């Protein structure tokens, strides 16, 4: 059974629908007692870091996530759920986040220009991922696949060895990471069609 963490950050039902389509049982909850029964955890989200951290603390989910990580439970962060696993986010004037991965979250530079064209921020749309390090969750993905992004911020890990994927949007930024029993992506696999479903399936079968 897969637990999807509900911390009032949205985009939960689309993740649940994708898992159900793949044939995996899942539930959405902010109840720690229920989530502790899950065999693996998905940490999605859309929104701002500060309000997300406040919601996590309100439900005690911040400590639950730290405990789950230390206990080796497979965890998958998506979009905002990826940004919150770092130490610190520049968003909202600066927000201390979970610290599961050493590093910080920064905003795309302004203006963001490529080939004399000013690029829009938030970054919204389909982009490729350059897979630079093998990992079971990201195995067998066609390099020409594109994934759906919606974000203004991205993480910069201190330890470059955790980086699995890089995406270019005016600049190169980290779009996929893996560390111990934790994997995380800046894009939305649940909205990325066949390759996104492949990633979710491989996470559900992954044994860290």
Residues tagged active-site? 79, 188, 190
Return the structure tokens found at 178: 């893996």
CB 128 within 8 A of CB 136: no
CA dist., res. 8 & res. 60, Å (int): 13
CA dist., res. 111 & res. 118, Å (int): 7
End-to-end CA distance of the chain: 16
Q: Is 197 helix (H, G, I), strand (E, B) or coil?
A: helix
Could you give the C-alpha distances from 15 to 24, 63, 91, 136, in angstroms and in order? 11, 23, 25, 20
């Amino acid at each position: 059974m897969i637990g999807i963490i509900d911390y009032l950050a949205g985009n939960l039902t689309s993740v649940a629908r994708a898992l159900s389509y793949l044939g995996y049982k899942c539930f959405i909850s902010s109840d720690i007692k229920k989530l502790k029964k899950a065999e693996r955890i998905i940490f999605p989200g859309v929104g701002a870091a500060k309000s997300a951290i406040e919601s996590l603390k309100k439900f005690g989910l911040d400590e639950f996530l730290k405990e789950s990580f230390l206990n080796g439970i497979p965890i998958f962060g998506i979009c905002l759920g990826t940004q919150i696993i770092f130490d610190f986010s520049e968003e909202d004037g600066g927000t201390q986040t979970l610290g599961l991965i050493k590093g910080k979250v920064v905003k795309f530079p302004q203006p963001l220009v490529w080939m004399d064209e000013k690029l829009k921020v938030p970054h919204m749309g389909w982009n490729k991922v350059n897979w630079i390090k093998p990992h079971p969750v990201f195995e067998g993905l066609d390099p020409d696949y594109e994934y759906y992004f919606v974000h203004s911020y991205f993480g910069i890990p201190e330890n470059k060895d955790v980086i699995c994927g890089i995406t270019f949007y005016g600049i190169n930024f980290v779009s996929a990471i893996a560390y111990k029993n934790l994997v995380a992506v800046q894009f939305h696999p649940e909205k990325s069609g066949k390759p996104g479903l492949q990633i979710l399936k491989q996470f559900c079968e992954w044994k860290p």
